[in-house]
Structure 1
Amino acid sequence: MKKSKNVFISHYGKEDKKVQRLKERFAEKGYSIRNYSVDSTKHTRKKRPSDELIKRFLRRQISWSSSLICMIGPKTHTRDWVNYEIKAAHRQGKKIVGIYTHGNNDNVPLPEAFKKYGGSVIGWNSIDKLMDIMNDKKFPVESPEGSSRTSMYSVSDSNC
């Protein structure tokens, strides 16, 4: 019996190949993942829509997901849309978990919104642990080096 989840994978757009690899790794472990985020397999280049249209689309896609997985790589923390997606997931009450892209444990900064609203951050090779977190097993909120940290939840954040 496959274990199934609807997720939104927040990521730096130029790392679409890593999103595909993450989905493959889930499948290799017997998990069926439906990804509602935007990636290169789902769209073609057209005229860029307005920011308001993008925000509405992202909020809708996030609403269909049980969890937001933030893929954390060297440039993730610089992306405004990643921060927006994390804030939108928080406002919708979604579980927010981070996974470092391969080779980036402990040496890349977390996005600002993840520092405020995110939960656990795990390494690339921890797919089973990621599924445990998404299935509501308790894991402490940690900083990249493993020390305990607290999320600063604030529902009054109006940037979403």
Structure 2
Amino acid sequence: MAKKVFLSFHYDGDVTRCQRIRNIGAIEEDREEVSAQRWEAIKGDGDQAVKNWIAREMAGKDAVVVLVGGGTASRKWVKYEIEKAWQDKKPLVGIRVHGMLDLQGNKGSYGDDPFGKVFDSDGTPLSRYVSLHNPSGADSKAVYATIRDNFESWVNGAVKRSW
């Protein structure tokens, strides 16, 4: 059964990979995908406008899935989305997407764990609680197949803060 999820990712680095994951059919879409122009317009309206947009998009979602590529862990808004999911007690999980090809046919680079850069109230990195799945596969098709075959169970197993 398709889940309503908020996908968090580095737009410039992984939008193509994100689009492929959306096509798996395990995600219930209730909005149109945000174009690069629309995202830039939102950012151009300032930080509060971005936070408001994130809050609206995250509301009513079953989970937050962070798609992790080479630059994801260093992205300001990915970090904010992880913090907000944790604060709002949303189930949270990560999936590495560097093994999938982009539009130019290139694999991504292996990135840092973004959950290791976000901390709970006692200073513990969220990487201690949140799973970051590294899909197996010898090539992009095999990695995609692993994500396709496991996406629903990974989302169902996402960690939700209980305190």
- TM-score, normalisation: structure 1: 0.69
Q: What is the CA–CA distance in structure 2 between the aligned matches of 1:96 and 1:81, rounded to whole Å?
A: 15
* SS, match of residue 126 in structure 1: helix
CA, structure 1 residues 113+38, in 2 after alignment: closer, same or farther (shift >3 Å)? farther
**1:113 Cα deviation from its structure 2 partner:** 2.3
Deviation of residue 130 (structure 1)?
A: 2.5
Of 69, 86, 91, which residue of structure 1 is paired with 2:87? Answer: 91
1:76 to 64, 67, 72: 72
2:38 aligned partner: 43
What is the deviation of 1:42? 8.8
Unaligned runs of 5+ in 2: 100-106, 120-124, 136-142
Q: Structure 1 regions of 5+ residues with no counterpart?
A: 142-152, 156-160
* Aligned equivalent of 1:17: 16
Distance in 2 between residues matched to 1:113 and 1:133, nearest whole Å: 20
Specify which structure has the higher proportion of helix: 2
Tell me the percent identity. Answer: 24
Verify the 8 A CA contact 2:70 2:109 in the aligned structure 1. no
Is the partner of 1:93 in helix, strand or coil? Answer: coil
Counterpart-to-counterpart distance in 2, 1:17 and 1:23: 10
Please report the RMSD computed on the Cα atoms of aligned residues, expressed in angstroms.
Answer: 3.4
Distance change in 2, residues 1:73/1:119 (3 Å)? same
- 1:75-100 CA-partner distances (Å, limit 9, x unpaired): 00110100000110111111111111
Q: Higher strand proportion, which one?
A: 1
Following TM superposition, the consecutive aligned residue runs of length 4 or more in structure 1 with deviations greater than 4 angstroms are 35-38
Work out the CA distance in 2 between the residues paired with 1:46 and 1:108.
27
Q: TM-score, normalised by structure 2?
A: 0.68
Shift of 1:5: 1.1
The correspondence for 1:110, drawn from 107, 110, 113, is 113
The whole-number CA distance in structure 1 between the counterparts of 2:32 and 2:112 is 22
Say whether residues 1:120 and 2:125 are aligned partners: no
Does the 8 A contact of 1:72 with 1:108 survive in 2? yes
